[in-house]
Amino acid sequence: MKQRLRQYIEKALQACFDQEELHSGIVPDIGLEVPARAEHGDFSTNVAMAMAREEKKAPRKIAEAIVAALGEGEGMWSRVEIAGPGFINFYLTPRCWFGVLDEIVRQGELFGRTRTGTGRKVQVEFVSANPTGPLHIGHGRGAATGDAVASVLDAAGYEVQREYYLNDAGNQMLTLGRSLLLRYRELLGETVDFPTDCYQGVYIIDLAREVFEREGDRLRDLPEDEALRYFAEYGGGKIRDGIEDDLAAFGVNFDNWYSEQSLYDRQEVERGIALLKERGLTFEKDGALWFRTTDYGDDKDRVLVRSNGATTYFASDVAYHKEKFERGFDTVIDVWGADHHGYVPRMKAVLAGLDRNPEDLQIILVQLVNLLRGGQQVAMSTRSGEFVTLREVIDEVGRDACRFFFLMRRSDSQLDFDLDLAKKQSNENPVYYVQYAHARVCSINRNAEEQGMSIPELGKIDFDCLTLEDELTLAKLLSRYPQVVDGAAENFEPHRIVFYLQELAARFHSYYNKGRVLVDEPEISRARLYLVNCVRTVLHNALVLLGVSAPERM
RNA sequence: GGCCCCGUAGCUCAGUUGGAUAGAGCGGUCGCCUCCUAAGCGAUAGGCCACAGGUUCGAAUCCUGUCGGGGCCGCCA
């Protein structure tokens, strides 16, 4: 719709230049937007004002020339007017708006998919929690956000891969092994002084018990390093499986689980370091090897190889990101907790050092989640092992409410997650509000069917039967959906989908309450049924992007 | 000390990339079920967009500074 209108305006501008009404000969970017107030039309453009400087002419004069050159628009609009300082406002005909309904019916589940990203490969890496403990609520927000960003990009036409980076190398796995081994020895009756730098959570004790029940005391007499390796491997595997299960329960499925250890096994880490060295971007100091990230705007240089010869986590990250681009992605997106924001400059430096545009790496920082119960903040501390797991929250409030709540806010503002509110089955809970709209349409469909009426097919509708203001409003709102998807994809902002859903649901509920869909006149009933099923389709399509279900009854 | 995010209605937050008279939900008040699901709808009250400058035809939006809230600053991962 917007595109078509833009073409008309471009044509009019060209005509003005040809007839020498206007002289600059430059067609600017034509800003077309939906005005905040209905009396300013359906679309409004500020081109005349934008051109004022170039043309050295009053905006309203320019607008007059453009409007004169516009012509009739072949029934697309009923009125064009110049308003305010020089806005050109278009009033589209109802017939034009209701055309979107046929479009929705034609495309069905594909309505809202665009071609914006066609031919571009994007990877979204998210969660990537260390396999040393279960996912907590903070990881849940990252999971919901990353998954929705991936879905939205997919809808916008990008080729998308979802990846989980598994930190299965380094001494954290040894710490996990040691934690388990000590708990195991406790179970065997030994008195153990459990160190503070070991993992404190009760899940460690549970895992140790599992081993004890399977293996008995067989592992007591193994050499220390062998026992550690056993426990690290067993624990890491189990925890990883648990993470995968939790994510599956949350509706999040990864295309790829990428092992950090595999980077070492394939000498990728060495290769990455060697490459930076070759390019003269490294130096030695205090027995360690550093990457001069300050050349690219970081505030400190960073260590790649420690003085004891061990590589840092940053070194494997260099290799990992280098390898990502070698896999052919045009854009790589990392979803991180905001507490890692300090790592952004050094990762951008990695790209610059590899002659890659730093913009090709996009980092989404997801802010903290404050868990509330009864209005009080729930205390959490990973160190002490006291935290609320994602699984517990899913079990308590349900997957739909959980995902919806995580996506209700922009990811760069902190989120209060009110457990009591998320559980409430009432009007205070926005999740049900949206789902209820979908269920209501389904209910209307069931009633129609009982009356022997089926959902009308494409093109079998007389749009002149849709005479209500609310019906036109709904059609306009529906037509906006593909742009909402594009905007959400372009800015990595899935919350835009949430707000759109709430608005669409609100308009539908209002319409529903004002009158009946199924009335005595069959033609009107059919037209309205057609309309509300378009609403249902868009509600469904948008909910799918968020990973929230669209129930047929509630 | 440096860096990142936030500051908009009593509360929680949107704000179409700089547009016209600033929006929603919750909470408050008052109404609506002979009728397709009241998990719903309608009405009403509520604002110095933290503050001060600047940029321009035009600023909640961009720039600078100040104040307030949160977070991060390891040869840990």
What percent of chain A is predicted at pLDDT more than 90?
74
Q: What is the mean pLDDT of residues A409-413?
A: 91
- Between CA A27 and C1' B58 the distance (Å) reads 22
- Between CA A43 and C1' B18 the distance (Å) reads 18
Assess whether A34 (CB) lies less than 7 A from strand B.
Answer: yes
Q: Give the tens place of pLDDT for each residue, A100-159.
A: 999 999 999 999 999 999 999 999 999 999 999 999 988 999 999 999 999 999 999 999
Return chain A residues 234..293 having CB < 7 Å to nucleic acid strand B: 285-288
Please give the pLDDT value at position A386: 65
Q: Give the tens place of pLDDT for each residue, A446-477.
A: 999 999 999 999 988 999 999 999 999 999 99
Please give the pLDDT value at position A383: 55
Question: C-alpha angle with apex A282: A281 to A283, nearest 5 degrees?
Answer: 135
Assess whether A553 (CB) lies less than 7 A from strand B.
Answer: yes
Residues A181, A199: Cα–Cα separation, whole Å: 11
Q: Is the dihedral of CA A305, A306, A308, A311 positive or negative?
A: negative
- Between CA A141 and C1' B13 the distance (Å) reads 17
Assess whether A203 (CB) lies less than 7 A from strand B.
Answer: no
Residues A486, A352: Cα–Cα separation, whole Å: 28
Please give the pLDDT value at position A426: 67
Q: Give the tens place of pLDDT for each residue, A342-367.
A: 999 999 999 999 999 999 999 999 99
Please give the pLDDT value at position A436: 95
Q: Give the tens place of pLDDT for each residue, A511-545.
A: 999 999 999 999 999 999 999 999 999 999 999 99
Q: What is the mean pLDDT of residues A400-427?
A: 87
Q: What is the mean pLDDT of residues A34-60?
A: 82
Q: What is the mean pLDDT of residues A48-55?
A: 78
Residues A304, A354: Cα–Cα separation, whole Å: 15
Residues A129, A131: Cα–Cα separation, whole Å: 6
Q: In the predicted model, what is the mean pLDDT of chain A? A: 92
Please give the pLDDT value at position A17: 86
Residues A97, A41: Cα–Cα separation, whole Å: 13
Q: Give the tens place of pLDDT for each residue, A227-238.
A: 999 999 999 999
Classify burial at A76, counting beta carbons within 10 Å of its beta carbon; exposed 0-12, middle 13-18, buried 19 or more.
middle
Q: Give the tens place of pLDDT for each residue, A486-517.
A: 999 999 999 999 999 999 999 999 999 999 99
Least confident of A52-61, A256-265, A451-460: A52-61
Token pair for A257: 């689980």
Assess whether A516 (CB) lies less than 7 A from strand B.
Answer: yes
Please give the pLDDT value at position A534: 97
- Between CA A428 and C1' B28 the distance (Å) reads 15
Cα torsion through A284, A290, A291, A294, rounded to 10: -100
What percent of chain A is predicted at pLDDT more than 70?
98
Query: Which nt has its C1' nearest the CA of A308?
Result: B75
Q: Does pLDDT of A382 surpass 60?
A: no
**Polymer length in residues for chain A:** 554
CB A393 within 8 A of CB A402: yes
SS (H, E, C) A442-471: HHHHHHHHHCCCCCCCCCCCCHHHCCCHHH
Q: Is the dihedral of CA A337, A339, A345, A350 positive or negative?
A: negative
Least confident of A58-72, A209-223, A241-255: A58-72
Please give the pLDDT value at position A155: 98
Q: Give the tens place of pLDDT for each residue, A214-228.
A: 999 999 999 999 999
Q: Does pLDDT of A403 surpass 80?
A: yes
Q: What is the mean pLDDT of residues A430-445?
A: 95
Assess whether A370 (CB) lies less than 7 A from strand B.
Answer: no
Q: How confident is the model at residue A50 (pLDDT cuts 50, 70, 90)?
A: confident
Select from A141, A113, A253, A116 the least CA-distant residue to A495.
A141
SS (H, E, C) A74-115: HHCEEEEEEECCCEEEEEECHHHHHHHHHHHHHHHHHCCCCC
Return chain A residues 429..458 having CB < 7 Å to nucleic acid strand B: 429-430, 432-433, 436, 439-440, 442-444, 446-447
CB A153 within 8 A of CB A362: no
- Between CA A415 and C1' B50 the distance (Å) reads 21
Q: CB atoms < 10 A from the CB of A250, how many?
A: 24
Return chain A residues 58..97 having CB < 7 Å to nucleic acid strand B: 83-85, 87, 89
Token pair for A124: 């979204």
A528-532 contacts at long range (C-beta below 8 A, 24 or more positions apart): A528/A465, A528/A466, A528/A471, A529/A444, A529/A445, A529/A448, A529/A453, A529/A455, A529/A456, A530/A101, A530/A105, A530/A455, A530/A456, A530/A461, A531/A101, A531/A466, A531/A471, A531/A474, A531/A475, A532/A441, A532/A444, A532/A508
Residues A505, A93: Cα–Cα separation, whole Å: 24
Assess whether A27 (CB) lies less than 7 A from strand B.
Answer: no
Q: What is the mean pLDDT of residues A73-92?
A: 88
Which helix (H) or strand (E) covers residue A364, if one does? strand A361-366
Q: Give the tens place of pLDDT for each residue, A297-336.
A: 898 999 999 999 999 999 999 999 999 999 999 999 999 9
Q: Which bases of chain B are under 7 A from a protein CB atom?
A: 2-7, 12-17, 19-27, 35-37, 39-42, 57, 69-77
Q: Does pLDDT of A37 surpass 90?
A: no
Return chain A residues 408..427 having CB < 7 Å to nucleic acid strand B: 408-410, 412-416, 425-427
Q: Are strands A302-305 and A288-291 parallel, antiparallel or unpaired?
A: antiparallel
Q: Does pLDDT of A31 surpass 80?
A: no
CB A479 within 8 A of CB A42: no
Please give the pLDDT value at position A427: 66
Please give the pLDDT value at position A147: 98
Q: Give the global pTM.
A: 0.94
Assess whether A190 (CB) lies less than 7 A from strand B.
Answer: no
